[in-house]
Structure 1
Amino acid sequence: MARPPGHDRPLYVRTAMSLKSRILAGHYVPGQRLPSEDELAATMRASRSTVRQALSELRDTGYVTSRRGSGSYVADPLPIEALSPQSGPVYTGFLDDLDNEAHHVRERDRVQDTLRADQWLGARLKVPVDSPLVRYRATRLRHGVPYGVATDIVPLSVAERITPEVLAAGPTIVDALTLAQSRVAESLQRLEPGVLDAADAERCGASPGDPALEITGVAYDSTHTPIDAYTLTITAGYGIGLHLTRTTLD
């Protein structure tokens, strides 16, 4: 889980990420006109020049469009599928902040099978219903200690590049995707409470019905193409730390 944008990031990037989180949470919907630069500057406690740079960043990444003489609008469609307003807030961060943590994470007992896309998976991976998919399941470990079960479902066109050699060299499927030239550039996920079923409990050395945290999401490559519909079931006792700061932007 990526941490919130920190002070090591340029001010306009932090402002862009805050605005992006509101878009992905449904506060601003596709096609909606955004408040003026002055209004955004007041709302986000940033200077107008910082807001202008932030909007430029969001235009470059496909989240905002501009109309001469009219202002800035939320892109329609968005590069990635936004969460519904009922999903709660979206906290933004940076994937490269996970690099150090990834060195401590491994998967074991990895298995794979094939399945066909139902309507739910088809919508998330942007493939027709009944398209072939490949599913990977593995026990996830940190410093050698099991903490959850990872399920990754990828389109067949992506899975064909994940050869046995790539799988052997990739500590996780995310690493394997990078080695297969399908590096994850962006992902959007939701967190919900859950319980362990018998199979996941056995993998983690826990008991069926134990509380768990379900992280489900979709990962995209640099072209905004969905390449992985994933679920990470985390067992009780594994903590995720968040460092939160409040900054006056100027």
Structure 2
Amino acid sequence: MARPPGPDRPLYVRIAMSLKGRILAGHYRTGERLPSEDELATSLSASRSTIRQALADLRRAGYLTSRRGSGSYVAEELPIEPLSPKSGPVYTGFLDDLDAEANHVQELDRTQEIIAADPDTAARLHIPVGAEVTRYRAVRLRHGIPYGIATDIVPVHVAEQITSDVLRESATVVDALALAGSRVAESLQRVEPTSLTAETADRFDLPPGTPALALTGIAYDADRAPVDAYSLTIIPGYGIGLHLTRATGT
């Protein structure tokens, strides 16, 4: 059963997600002391007990450590890599809230090839430069309407589990990862302006250089191992909604 939407989750969960976003955006750096429980309670309009629950959640997840008599500190080594260099805000959410949306998404004209990892890909997937990876590319559609080009680069040991039958049964490569036993548990991505390459523009009958959005990220499995270095080039005309709710005290 899917969990309820974000605003219906306990306040301490939403506060933990908000603080995690600040950590992953570089607002709170590794080794840095967080504001006190009282300061966080005031700034976030929450009770100290709610703040305490949120901080406990982040400690269990490996984002914070505690020092007796000193407070909470950002862990020296985070479970997943923060955006670097320091980004704008990181808006946090829940992957299971996207499950229903994924039912409306599919990929067409998917290609698959084995390539050597360049330095950027190697760093993102924690593998040696030149190691074999599998790259998937496809036209992404929502409700049958094309809206972008998806690229997924997967370590070869993970891709070996994505058989042709698994890939055929999967609407997206993320679905294939789940069927192959590498379900995505957490991901961090950034959105930046870009322009369409000649190849991508031709697929959508648009002029090369047309302004677009580039969504790039890394997906991690339940063991926080990177399993997919992905990108999605979104063409003009496709809107992405953002719902923000201000937390209130409990």
Give TM-score scaled by structure 1 length.
0.95
- Secondary structure of the residue aligned to 1:92 is coil
Matched with 2:136 is 136
Matched with 1:63 is 63
Matched with 1:210 is 210
Asked if structure 2 preserves the Cα contact closer than 8 Å seen for 1:139 and 1:204, the reply is: no
1:32-76 CA distance string (max 9 Å, x none): 121221121112221100010001111111111112333211111
1:188-212 CA distance string (max 9 Å, x none): 1010111111211222333322221
Which residues in structure 2 correspond to 1:5-20 (within 5 Å)?
Answer: 6-20=6-20
C-alpha distance 121-92 of structure 1, shift in aligned 2 (>3 A):
same
In the alignment, structure 1 segments of 5+ residues that lack a partner are none
User: Within the alignment, does 1:43 sit opposite 2:78 as a pair?
Assistant: no
Asked if structure 2 preserves the Cα contact closer than 8 Å seen for 1:27 and 1:85, the reply is: no
What letter corresponds to residue 214 of structure 2 in structure 1? Answer: E
Matched with 1:193 is 193
User: For the residues of structure 1 that align with 2:148 and 2:55, how far apart are their CA atoms?
Assistant: 38
What letter corresponds to residue 186 of structure 1 in structure 2? Answer: E
Asked if structure 1 preserves the Cα contact closer than 8 Å seen for 2:111 and 2:138, the reply is: yes
- Secondary structure of the residue aligned to 2:79 is coil
Shift of 1:85: 5.3
Asked if structure 1 preserves the Cα contact closer than 8 Å seen for 2:44 and 2:247, the reply is: no
User: For the residues of structure 2 that align with 1:205 and 1:230, how far apart are their CA atoms?
Assistant: 24
Asked if structure 2 preserves the Cα contact closer than 8 Å seen for 1:149 and 1:204, the reply is: no
User: For the residues of structure 1 that align with 2:98 and 2:181, how far apart are their CA atoms?
Assistant: 19
User: Within the alignment, does 1:77 sit opposite 2:72 as a pair?
Assistant: no
| Pairs aligned (count) | 246
User: For the residues of structure 2 that align with 1:245 and 1:171, how far apart are their CA atoms?
Assistant: 31
Matched with 2:241 is 241
Shift of 1:86: 3.6
1:132-156 CA distance string (max 9 Å, x none): 1110000001111110000000100
User: For the residues of structure 2 that align with 1:203 and 1:183, how far apart are their CA atoms?
Assistant: 30
User: For the residues of structure 1 that align with 2:247 and 2:86, how far apart are their CA atoms?
Assistant: 27
Superposition RMSD on alpha carbons, in Å?
Answer: 1.3
- Percent identity of equivalent pairs: 67
User: For the residues of structure 2 that align with 1:86 and 1:63, how far apart are their CA atoms?
Assistant: 17
User: Within the alignment, does 1:34 sit opposite 2:34 as a pair?
Assistant: yes
1:54-112 CA distance string (max 9 Å, x none): 01111111111112333211111100110135421111111111111101100000001
Asked if structure 2 preserves the Cα contact closer than 8 Å seen for 1:124 and 1:218, the reply is: yes
What letter corresponds to residue 244 of structure 1 in structure 2? Answer: L
User: For the residues of structure 1 that align with 2:195 and 2:41, how far apart are their CA atoms?
Assistant: 43
Give every structure 1 segment of 4 or more consecutive aligned residues whose post-TM-superposition deviation is greater than 6 Å: none
The farther-off stretch of 203-212 and 60-69 is: 203-212
Asked if structure 1 preserves the Cα contact closer than 8 Å seen for 2:214 and 2:234, the reply is: yes
Matched with 1:167 is 167
- Secondary structure of the residue aligned to 1:161 is coil
Asked if structure 1 preserves the Cα contact closer than 8 Å seen for 2:6 and 2:94, the reply is: no
Matched with 1:116 is 116
Asked if structure 2 preserves the Cα contact closer than 8 Å seen for 1:149 and 1:203, the reply is: no
Matched with 1:155 is 155
1:155-209 CA distance string (max 9 Å, x none): 0011000010110011000000000000001111010111111211222333322
User: Within the alignment, does 1:88 sit opposite 2:93 as a pair?
Assistant: no
User: For the residues of structure 2 that align with 1:148 and 1:66, how far apart are their CA atoms?
Assistant: 44
Asked if structure 2 preserves the Cα contact closer than 8 Å seen for 1:212 and 1:234, the reply is: yes
